[in-house]
């Protein structure tokens, strides 16, 4: 059984009283994988097969995993032990690898960092925000990669939209020619095509938002189950919806203007093929 020794477990459980019936907490992925439930008795040891040194404990709690992107792809299981038991099993004694310090006032942080780094040889203190930035670098790269894909998609779809609008308007050359012959002005023709393009763009983007939202639900359901994490892999936020609809509207109207201007500049008789 693999037991990653987590610093927070050491800190949180340090002062708990010893009892004859020791308990541990395990994460839900661990519980699912090993078919464990609250109340089960298990033997724990530092190394697999070390039955002589094993302690019998009771599963006291099964906890959900945090929404931590850095943990998603890792196959680790987490078990939290009382500190004294963990120290004894691991043979670490009073040693710790990492620990966290909370200050009462934010103004004390710099002073505390300075002091620890000055006096505690072998230790290095960081702000939690700095650690968060450091650990999320990979995700920033991934995020930029996604943005690049998004930009390529927008460029491709805008070309597609323009082609659709041009084809759609081209199909109606003769209808537009007839309108012009009836005395409908160029501006009225352009206006009607732009309105149509805008309606198509807005309806299309709304449909896209609904599809995106449904796909997002499926993606989250699938990967949350796969990685046993509450992390959201895909989100459709109001700003994203606003951006999608606005962009689509701008592109649709632009495509409508280009397509209609091309036609109304052509003499009606030429549109009729005469």
Partner 1 sequence: MSSLTRPRSGALVSGSAKSDVNPLVSLREVRRDYALGAERVHALQGVSLDVERGDYVAIVGPSGCGKSTLLNLVGVIDQPTSGTVTIAGKRVDAMSDREATSFRLHNIGFVFQRFYLMPILSALENVELPMAEAKVPSDDRKARAAELLEYVGLSSRERHRPSELSGGEQQRVAIARALANHPDILLADEPTGELDARTGAEIISLFRRLNSDGTTIVVVTHDEDLANATRHKVHMRDGRIVDA
Q: List residues near partner 1 by CB under 8 A.
A: 174-175, 178-186, 188, 268-269, 274
54 in Cβ contact with 43 (< 8 Å): yes
Percent composition of the chain: helix, strand, coil (DSSP 3-state, to 5): 60, 5, 30
User: 13 forms bridges with which residues in the sheet?
Assistant: none
Q: What does the CA dihedral 230, 232, 238, 244 come to, rounded to 10 degrees? A: -160
CB of 177 to partner 1, least distance (A): 8
CB of 201 to partner 1, least distance (A): 17
Nearer to partner 1, 9 or 176 (CB): 176
**Is residue 270 exposed (0-12), middle (13-18) or buried (19+ Cβ within 10 Å)?**
exposed
18 in Cβ contact with 90 (< 8 Å): no
What tokens does 167 get?
Answer: 């084809």
Nearer to partner 1, 32 or 269 (CB): 269
Q: Which residue, 79, 17, 21, 14, is CA-closest to 46?
A: 79
Nearer to partner 1, 74 or 262 (CB): 262
CB of 190 to partner 1, least distance (A): 13
Find the radius of gyration of the CA atoms of the chain: 32
Nearer to partner 1, 65 or 180 (CB): 180
247 in Cβ contact with 154 (< 8 Å): yes
CB of 193 to partner 1, least distance (A): 12
Nearer to partner 1, 256 or 268 (CB): 268
CB of 180 to partner 1, least distance (A): 7
CB of 182 to partner 1, least distance (A): 6
Q: How far apart are CA 206 and CA 25, in angstroms?
A: 46
CB of 179 to partner 1, least distance (A): 8
User: 43 forms bridges with which residues in the sheet?
Assistant: 56
Nearer to partner 1, 117 or 185 (CB): 185
User: 63 forms bridges with which residues in the sheet?
Assistant: 27
Q: How far apart are CA 45 and CA 52, in angstroms?
A: 9
Nearer to partner 1, 65 or 204 (CB): 204
């Amino acid at each position: 059984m693999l037991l990653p020794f987590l610093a927070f477990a050491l800190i949180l459980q340090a002062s708990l009283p010893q009892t004859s019936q020791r308990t541990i907490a395990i994460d839900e992925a661990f519980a699912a994988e090993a078919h464990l439930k609250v109340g089960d008795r298990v033997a724990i040891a530092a190394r697999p097969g070390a039955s002589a040194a094993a302690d019998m404990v009771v599963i006291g709690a099964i906890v959900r995993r945090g929404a931590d992107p850095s943990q998603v792809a890792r196959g680790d299981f987490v078990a939290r032990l009382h500190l004294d038991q963990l120290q004894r099993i691991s043979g670490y004694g009073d040693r710790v690898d990492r620990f966290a310090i909370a200050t009462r006032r934010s103004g004390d942080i710099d002073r505390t960092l300075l002091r620890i780094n000055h006096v505690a040889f072998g230790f290095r203190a960081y702000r939690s925000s700095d650690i968060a930035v450091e650990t999320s670098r990979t995700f920033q790269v991934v995020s930029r990669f996604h943005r690049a894909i998004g930009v390529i998609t927008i460029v491709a779809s805008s070309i597609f939209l323009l082609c659709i609008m041009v084809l759609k308007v081209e199909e109606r050359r003769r209808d537009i020619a007839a309108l012009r012959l009836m005395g409908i002005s160029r501006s009225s023709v352009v206006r009607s095509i732009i309105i149509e393009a805008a309606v198509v763009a807005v309806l299309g983007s709304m449909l896209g938002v609904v599809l995106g939202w449904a796909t997002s639900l499926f993606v989250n359901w699938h990967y949350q189950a796969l990685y046993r994490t509450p992390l959201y892999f895909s989100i459709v936020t109001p700003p994203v919806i606003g951006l999608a609809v606005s962009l689509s509207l701008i592109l649709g109207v632009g495509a409508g203007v280009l397509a209609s201007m091309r036609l109304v500049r052509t003499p009606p008789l030429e549109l009729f093929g005469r």
